[in-house]
Amino acid sequence: MKSVLAAVILGMAVLVIGCASSGGGNTAAIHRIVYRPIAASQTANFPQIAERALTQRGWQITARREGEIDASYANAEARADITVAYTAARYEIKYRNSEGLSYSRGRIHRHYNNWINYIDRDIQAAMRAAG
């Protein structure tokens, strides 16, 4: 009986430690959008396409440089800063900073990954629609 109780307690301890180290299930490995192709016909329009995708999702454009667009998103609980870097042939969405998203050692709250995936999908759809 004691060995069963010890096994149950040990199993619960492992479960609690595992949940604590993974952010209680709310965090995941940070999703990086890298090397997404830009169609040759969209190269000149890409900055406008990316900015439209960002602003339609509530992101604020904070800086524009040759080949880069910085943007921030904030709600009541969290803030995220990203850079959309692009060349004539491809783009990527890079994490820069955040608050309230439990970022630690390459892991972040799953909401961030959802936000980034939505932006990527919107950019891809806009490029397809523009032909």
The residue with greater pLDDT, 102 or 19, is 102
pLDDT at 130: 85
Topology, domain 29-130: TATA-Binding Protein (3.30.310)
Single-letter amino acid, residue 42: Q
Please give the model's pTM, rounded to 2 decimal places. 0.80
Between helix 46-56 and helix 110-130 the angle, nearest 10°, is: 130
Q: Region 68-84: what's the mean pLDDT?
A: 97
pLDDT at 125: 95
Confidence of residue 3 (pLDDT cuts 50, 70, 90): low
- Per residue in 20-49, pLDDT (tens digit) is 444 457 999 999 999 999 989 999 999 999
Within 8 A by CB and 6+ apart from 14, the residues are: none
The domain limits of the chain are: 29-130
> 3-state DSSP call for residue 46?
helix
Confidence of residue 117 (pLDDT cuts 50, 70, 90): very high
Residue 84 has pLDDT above 90, yes or no: yes
